[in-house]
Amino acid sequence: MIADLSRFDPNGVSVANNNVFGLPFTEENASLIIIPVPWEVTVSFKSGTARSPEHILEASLQVDLFDSQFQNAWKKGVFMQAVDKKILLKNDILRKENELYLNFINSGEKIETNKFMRKTLKEVNEGCMQLNLWVYEKCLEQIKKGKKVGLLGGDHSTAYGLIKALSETYSNFGILQVDAHCDLRKSYEGLDHSHGSIMFNVLNDFPQVSKLIQLGIRDYCESEWNYICQSDFRIVTYFEKEIKERQFEGQTWSHISDEMISQLPEHVYISYDIDGLDPKLCPHTGTPVPGGFEMEQLSFVFRKILSSGRKIIGFDLCETGVSKDGWDENVGARVLFKLCNLMLCDK
């Protein structure tokens, strides 16, 4: 079904009762579906990302549709599903439980000695597994209809279900992960599906992911470092320190980007943790780290992926915080629009 755009003025002010970016599409006639996942159960530091999809939706009405590079991309249609209130409620309950559990282990107590805390941890882990299944089924349903899917977190763990659904569609694909953190911990604080373990779990469970390129990492632990070194180049990490050093020595970003992209297979998934950006752009993200990218630096890489002939098969945008002045969600909405355009201009 093709949408009738004859009454829609892309230069006008957004109509609030329209959907994301003020666009007039429906789930049926849009070719890209954004699935919001209001979940941050395992987040250990600052909270708020579970509520960012609603805020990004609101902020998206202010994003100008004109993009000189992808002028007609949005006309293929973007639709964002409504935030599932039951999932949000479950998030709130389990996040409280997880807080209790984390306070318990952080005070030096041993979980083996406390039956109640063992039960709490089990409930959190099971809740996260159910969430993964829920996301997977929602994403697969859209993929089977021939739709492109983008996921809007929530914390970074929410991407698991979409990557699982894509791994049933593509036998070989790469992930380009933008992040301040590696997210390669094997179970973090006893939590099997922590945001800090998302890429470990993905690599462990989906052999279809033949390459993981990590970009902008600047906060990681020794076990993650060892894991990368032992991955036989299945994981290639571009630490921020190395990127900056190469630039200080005169190498161009274009050169570094081409080198990075040349290692990716034909099909590429983008996992965009907003904390990969400079924290001035995402001050309320869960775990901000000094340093990071400008938005345009990353858009440059993404455009190069397309011009190299590779295809972008899906994306997630995670860890956007919620702020009083709307700044984080304003940036989030603009990143989201870029990601949508990349998916839609692709044939």
Closest approach of Mn ion to the CB of residue 288, in Å: 12
Closest approach of Mn ion to the CB of residue 183, in Å: 4
Our finding on whether 316 is near Mn ion (CB under 5 A) is no
State the sign of the Cα–Cα–Cα–Cα dihedral 282, 252, 181, 318: positive
Close Cβ partners of 19 (under 8 Å, ≥ 6 residues apart): 25, 26, 78, 79, 80
Rg (CA), the chain: 20
Our finding on whether 179 is near Mn ion (CB under 5 A) is yes
Pick the piece of the chain touching Mn ion (CB under 5 A) from 135-143, 166-174, 248-256, 273-281. Answer: 273-281
Token pair belonging to 176: 């380009």
Closest approach of Mn ion to the CB of residue 243, in Å: 17
Closest approach of Mn ion to the CB of residue 327, in Å: 20
Q: Which is nearer to Mn ion, 79 or 188 (CB)?
A: 188
- For residue 178, the SS3 value is strand
Q: Which is nearer to Mn ion, 57 or 180 (CB)?
A: 180
Closest approach of Mn ion to the CB of residue 290, in Å: 16
Close Cβ partners of 45 (under 8 Å, ≥ 6 residues apart): 286, 287
154 prior amide bond cis, ω within 30: yes
Q: Which is nearer to Mn ion, 10 or 291 (CB)?
A: 291
Closest approach of Mn ion to the CB of residue 233, in Å: 21
Closest approach of Mn ion to the CB of residue 201, in Å: 12
Residue corresponding to tokens 């109509």: 15
Q: Which is nearer to Mn ion, 77 or 154 (CB)?
A: 154
Q: Which is nearer to Mn ion, 19 or 91 (CB)?
A: 91
Answer whether 242's CB lies under 8 Å from 264's CB: no
Our finding on whether 76 is near Mn ion (CB under 5 A) is no
Q: Which is nearer to Mn ion, 76 or 211 (CB)?
A: 211
Q: Which is nearer to Mn ion, 179 or 278 (CB)?
A: 179
Among 84, 183, 224, 278, binds Mn ion (CB under 5 A): 183
b/e per residue, 251-287, with b = 16+ CB within 10 A?
eeeeebbeebbeebeebbbbbbbbbbbbbebbebbbb
Cα three-residue angle 54-57-60, rounded to 5 degrees: 150
Our finding on whether 224 is near Mn ion (CB under 5 A) is no
Our finding on whether 240 is near Mn ion (CB under 5 A) is no
Q: Which residues bind Mn ion (CB under 5 A)?
A: 156, 179, 183, 273
